[in-house]
Each structure stands twice: as C-alpha cells, then as structure tokens.
Structure 1
C-alpha cells in the first residue's frame, strides 16, 4: 500500500478524517490566491507559515491534503491520503466532490498571480521554481492517479465543468473543473515529470 503520508512532508494531522467513495483516483490542483495583485501592482507572497497555521487552525474546514510551497519545496500534510479533505464545495444531495474517487488528493500551491519572491514577480505557477514538484508528483502517482487532465491542462483562469467526465475519469483536475465549484484556479500547473530512462 502506498504511504498515507507523503514522505518528506511535515505531518500536521488535523484529525478530521472521513472515507472516500471509491472510483477513479483523482488529484485536484489549487492555488491559495490569498492576495489580489496585478502586473502594475505586484505584492509580496504570503508567508508559508501563515497558510500552514491557517489550515491547521481556523481554516481546518477548507484544509487540503497538502500545502505546497513551489519556491522552497516545503510541504505540509493535514489529512492522510485515504481520507477526504474539504477544499472543494460539496453541496448536500449534489455531485460528490471531496469524496469522488478511491482518493481525491488536493494540493494547495502557495501562489497568486503577480506575487513577489526575492524581488521577482511571478505571473503564473508554472514560472516558479516548482521546487519539490517531482517528489509531490511521485507520491500522488503512487496512489494510482494517472498523468492526465481529463478536462484539459489548465492554461488560464477559465472554468470548464463536466459532471459526466468528473464522475468516471481519473486523473488531474483543476479546481476550475470540479462540479458545484465556482473557483477558476490554478491558472497553470507544472508539467508532469518525465520518467527516468531505464538502464540497458
């Protein structure tokens, strides 16, 4: 069985565990989007420690599985992989979202468009160093999440939601792809790492 807790990530268990429904394994990509910056007025990135404290404190009700800092590679995990998290809207009696798979692993990347880190402004997540992405991806893949975007790899803050696709296809989804939700993040996401060549 794969690791319930991502190796190398800080474990900060909020103790709010509940099973998923089974079905195709999924991962959902989010950004924290804690500030509204523009190219004309970029803003400093919110400290990682602030979001870590939020998701383990007053923000437990919307905590993801993982908070990921793409600038340093730091990760903090709040619930085990076999539990649902609560980062998605999930209306009573509607389409299942947080539980709709054997796993529904949710990752909040610490990012907002035009954030400033060490004096440099970043327009999109894929422009960041994406530190730690290879290890994060490997852990998610170990849970059977395919390297595919059933509704298309995110490329801008547009939303496309199709309940029939969400219900039957495993893979990676943007928050902008999930039924019952109105967010348009993450905008972009790093490419899947290429597999290491096999030895002859």
Structure 2
C-alpha cells in the first residue's frame, strides 16, 4: 500500500531509528494509539523489537516534549501484541506513540516520594498537552487522522485486562481517530490510563488547554533552591566538591552561626555596658579599651570552639 504525506514528524530525532532493522508493513494510518512507557527515560525497546512509531520524552527544564521517531508514520510499529489467527493490530493503519511517564497511581506515588520528575497521565501539565496536541494536529493535517476519540480512557489499574472498554475485533477494524493501548483487542495492557484525550483534541482544534494551577513547591524544595541558587549561600568550611553541603547540614550550620553571632553581639553589648558604667569616673582609658577587646575576643573564641565542636 502506498504511503502518502510526510513520514517524519518535524523536529523528531532519528537517533534511535529501527526502520532498517524492522522494515514493517506500509499502510495509510488513520488511527493513533497512545501508550505510556512506565519509565522515566527513553526505553531500549529491546533493540527496536517492541518499538512504537514515535516516543515523546519530557524535558522538564524547557517544559517541552522531545520527540524520537523509530519508524515512518505510515509503517507498522511493534508495540502491540498481535496474536496468530486473530485481528491485525500493529499493521492495521495504526501509528503508535509512547509517552515517557506513567499512568499507574502507585508508581506515581513512589516516584513522587523519591523525587523523580515524571509525567503522570491523569495530571499532565499544560505544556505536555500543548505538545501532544501539536502532534495530533499535524497527524490530522498531513495524514487525515480524525480529531476524534469515541472511546473512554479508564484510570489504571481498572483499565488493565478485560476492562469493559477494550474493542471487539470488528470495532477495532472499523475504528479511526485516537485510542489507547487499553482499547486494542488481543492486548491486556491498561496504558495510558486516564489520559486527557479530550483536552488534547480540544487544543489541537484550536482551543486552549484547561487552566491548571502550578504545583506548590514543598518547603524542602524552596529551601534547596535558596541554598543553591547561584551560590547565594555557600557554607564556609564545606567540602569543595559540595560548597553548599547537603540541605540539612547547611541549615544546621547556618543556625549555629546565627547563634554564634548572637553570642558575639551579647558579649559586645556587655562590654559597652561596662564602659558606660565607668563614664564620669577616674579610669585608665587604655585599660578599659584593652578590657573590652579581651572580652570580645574571649566571646569569639568560645563561640568558635562551640561551633567547631572541639569542646562540649
């Protein structure tokens, strides 16, 4: 079957191109099947044996998706199960797109707890919806993939297996538009879970992405940014390999030094008070100055000893 239209998505990297190793079948794709990789990095796809047509990987710093293309748009990919004697899956006019991230709330919770930046499909940020919509719009304009989806995207893990939304063979054969791995017959996967398909299609049609509030940073995240931003706070005496030390050690050290400064100030105040008490009396001025200097020096020495831990 002839392939029409541009086969490479503009800007997509072909650094992991598998079309030469797995030529695939030519087709005219009128379906996009969405997947999640359930990981935080670009998969190896078993050297291409299980690869989709494209992978979208988040760049959280730039707030954009970085695209990798593995097969032409109108060539069968390899990310679906295709059982012998059943309906065709990979080769039935379906372009497949993997999103690096997770649809599993348990995985999302685990990654969040350990601080892994990741995409979670039920809560995609506006910039991810924007870039997925841009691809969806391109697929419509250049390959006629309808900006429609007549299926329900169920939340994982309810979307796994016999989920009530998986298509019959006949429905799959006649399907056009956008669906997920959870909808394809002969497969049991539940990705991409509760995928914001309606928001993506709306944006692709020229609408706006739904307004979302920015996630509030945690106290630890705020403190870390303050402690490490352009060396604003660099702890004296910290190892050269880590001039700001760890967050906890930096805060502890700062508190110690504030305490030391308060003690020094107290010593100075006491000395000044002593001077004030001598006003109007016959005193040796030089002796008073020397006494003040000694009092301040003694206070500083005591503070330094306490900070460095040389004495209890």
The two structures have a TM-score, normalised by structure 2, of: 0.51
Structure 2 distance, partners of 1:128, 1:150, is 21
Q: Residue 63 of structure 1: CA displacement?
A: 0.2
Match of 1:61 in 2: 49
Match of 2:215 in 1: none
Structure 2 distance, partners of 1:137, 1:118, is 33
Structure 1 distance, partners of 2:13, 2:27, is 26
Q: Residue 13 of structure 1: CA displacement?
A: 2.1
1:31 matched to 2:39 = no
Deviates further, 117-126 or 181-190: 117-126
Q: Residue 166 of structure 1: CA displacement?
A: 0.6
In structure 1, which of residues 83, 86, 89 is the aligned counterpart of residue 81 of structure 2? 89
1:111 matched to 2:101 = yes
Match of 2:187 in 1: 181
CA contact (8 A) 2:27 2:76 kept: no
Q: Residue 144 of structure 1: CA displacement?
A: 1.4
Match of 2:17 in 1: 13
Match of 2:6 in 1: 3
1:137 matched to 2:129 = no
Q: Whose helix proportion is higher, 1 or 2?
A: 2
Q: Give the secondary-structure state (helix, strand or coil) at the position aligned to 1:176.
A: helix
Q: Whose strand proportion is higher, 1 or 2?
A: 1
Flag structure 2 segments of 5+ consecutive residues without an equivalent.
Answer: 208-312
Match of 1:156 in 2: 155
Identify if the C-alpha distance between structure 1 residues 59 and 117 changes in structure 2 by more than 3 Å, giving closer, same or farther. Answer: farther
Q: Provide the aligned length of Structure 1 versus Structure 2.
A: 176
Identify if the C-alpha distance between structure 1 residues 73 and 122 changes in structure 2 by more than 3 Å, giving closer, same or farther. Answer: closer
Structure 2 distance, partners of 1:60, 1:151, is 29
After TM superposition, what 4+ stretches of structure 1 lie above 3 angstroms from structure 2? Answer: 115-124
CA contact (8 A) 1:122 1:128 kept: no
If you compute each CA radius of gyration, which structure gives the higher value, 1 or 2?
Answer: 2
Match of 1:74 in 2: 66
CA contact (8 A) 1:68 1:74 kept: yes
The two structures have a TM-score, normalised by structure 1, of: 0.77
Structure 1 distance, partners of 2:38, 2:187, is 16
Identify if the C-alpha distance between structure 1 residues 92 and 132 changes in structure 2 by more than 3 Å, giving closer, same or farther. Answer: same
CA contact (8 A) 2:137 2:204 kept: no
Q: Residue 168 of structure 1: CA displacement?
A: 0.7
Post-superposition CA distance 1:76-135 (Å, at most 9, x none): 00000111000000012211000112xx11011001131449947778314222162232
